[in-house]
Amino acid sequence: GEDVEQSLFLSVREGDSSVINCTYTDSSSTYLYWYKQEPGAGLQLLTYIFSNMDMKQDQRLTVLLNKKDKHLSLRIADTQTGDSAIYFCAEIAHTGTASKLTFGTGTRLQVTL
């Protein structure tokens, strides 16, 4: 079955770059995702990448995809205290009836002053 793995915790200083890594197993995933969960809230889609892309940039966010190694990363430039949250990567599987996401364990990003 699918298994998505992430490290559990990352601490960075404000203004530095953060890199959150993820490995996944389902090579047939058409999209891979990064969701953000702020304290006391549900998840919100941060960005996604189509599987035929290597990189996607969106303002301070850069997503890198290495399909050969099944490795996904999220880089946040100029990390701010408001970026403190749990970040989940996810892969999609298309069943006959619906598209299901498999989430990683989540990486808690702590931004220090």
Please enumerate in sequence order all residues whose Cβ is within 8 A of that of 17, keeping only pairs 6 or more positions apart, or say none: 75, 76, 77, 78, 79
C-beta separation of 112 from 11 below 8 A: yes
Looking only at residues 65 through 104 of this chain, which bind other proteins when binding is defined by CB under 8 A?
Answer: 88, 92, 95, 97-104
Q: List CB contacts of 69: < 8 A, sequence separation 6 or more.
A: 23
Contact call for residue 39 and other proteins (CB under 8 A): no
| Residue in 31, 56, 62, 67 binding other proteins, rule: CB under 8 A | 31
Q: Is 41 in the site for other proteins (CB under 8 A)?
A: yes
Nearer Cβ to other proteins (14/64):
64
Q: Which residues of 37-47 are buried (b: 16+ CB within 10 A; e: fewer)?
A: beeeeebeebb
Pick from 39, 40, 59, 82 the residue near other proteins by CB under 8 A.
40
d(CA 14, CA 71): 26
- Does position 33 bind other proteins by CB under 8 A? yes
22 near other proteins, rule: CB under 8 A: no
Closest approach, Cβ 45 to other proteins, in A, equals 5
Binding residues for other proteins (CB under 8 A): 1, 4, 6, 8, 31, 33, 40-45, 48, 50, 88, 92, 95, 97-106
